[in-house]
Amino acid sequence: MKNTTMVGFGELFCPHYCISCGKVGGIICDCCKKNNIVKNREKKCLNCKSTVLKGICSDEGCRLRGVLQVYVGGRTGVLKDLINLYKYKAVRAAGGVLANLFADACADKIVKGFTIVALPTTGQHIRRRGFGHTEKLAKLIAKRLDMVSREKVLVRNNKSVQVGASEEMRKMQAELAYALGAKFCAHEKYLLIDDVWTTGSSMLAAQELLVRNGARNVAVGVLARSNHE
């Protein structure tokens, strides 16, 4: 029996405890969410770390210059724990909280009119974890924002896994990782979704692929920015 099934049964019959303070009720209580995540929300560019205004970087040398970007915070503490619970343990409650946090991070940004698209998960990871975590996350975020999510806008070209790879190797893999899918439409605006920005190689490659092929606008969104330098 897959881990996702076992977790599903557990969530039905067991109460959640706040992963930060231990309070019964939810996987994270409102107080800990406010003090450990919301108050620490960053306003720096995912790519160049310059200060952004309403999610837009204006640094002339940045590959995300003029591109709308949304993320919840740094990959540390409670946010890191929530991502790990969702991604590796398939805890559905964590996925719902993360989608809500991402939606809250969109509050001061113009995201209406975008179609939400996940960076495709590798087949190897789907088999190991029991679900496509980015695809599921994109659907949860779309539901929270009352927007549309769409699959097969992007497809994976290869089976390369970037965890543990050097920054240079990540860049090389990312350039070949994605192709346009059957559902790509050049007249749409897309908000790409992934869980963590480490070097940004995958997200930048996917974003630039869609732009090169005529997409009207391509924004990027992740749950957290890694401390990787």
DSSP state of 37: T
Domain 3-225 = CATH 3.30.70.141: no
Q: Distance (Å, rounded) from C-alpha 132 to C-alpha 176?
A: 20
Q: Distance (Å, rounded) from C-alpha 195 to C-alpha 133?
A: 8
Give the pLDDT confidence score for residue 37 in this predicted structure: 94
Q: Is the pLDDT confidence value at 229 over 50?
A: no
Residues in Cβ contact with 24 at an 8 Å cutoff, skipping those fewer than 6 apart: 15, 16, 17, 18
**Cβ 129 vs Cβ 88: under 8 Å:** yes
Q: Distance (Å, rounded) from C-alpha 100 to C-alpha 11?
A: 19
Give the pLDDT confidence score for residue 103 in this predicted structure: 97
Give the pLDDT confidence score for residue 166 in this predicted structure: 58
**Cβ 29 vs Cβ 21: under 8 Å:** yes
**Of 17, 20, 24, 22, residue with least CA distance to 32:** 20
Helices (H), 90-161: 92-105, 123-129, 133-145
The share of the chain scoring above pLDDT 90, in percent, equals 72
Q: What pLDDT, in 10s, does the model give residues 154-197?
A: 998 866 555 555 566 666 677 788 999 999 999 899 999 999 99
Beta pairing, strands 178-180 & 154-156: antiparallel
Q: Is the pLDDT confidence value at 127 over 80?
A: yes
Residue range 130-158: average pLDDT?
94
User: DSSP labels for 45-74?
Assistant: -TTT--B-BTTBB--TT-TTBT-BEEEEEE
- pLDDT confidence tier of residue 7, bands split at 50, 70 and 90: low
Tell me how many degrees the CA angle 196-190-178 measures, rounded to the nearest 5.
Answer: 65
Could you tell me the end-to-end alpha-carbon distance of the chain, in angstroms, rounded to an integer? 39
Residue range 40-53: average pLDDT?
93
Give the pLDDT confidence score for residue 136 in this predicted structure: 96
Q: Is the pLDDT confidence value at 23 over 80?
A: yes
Q: Is the pLDDT confidence value at 107 over 70?
A: yes
- pLDDT confidence tier of residue 4, bands split at 50, 70 and 90: low
How much is the mean pLDDT over the chain? 88
Give the pLDDT confidence score for residue 133 in this predicted structure: 94
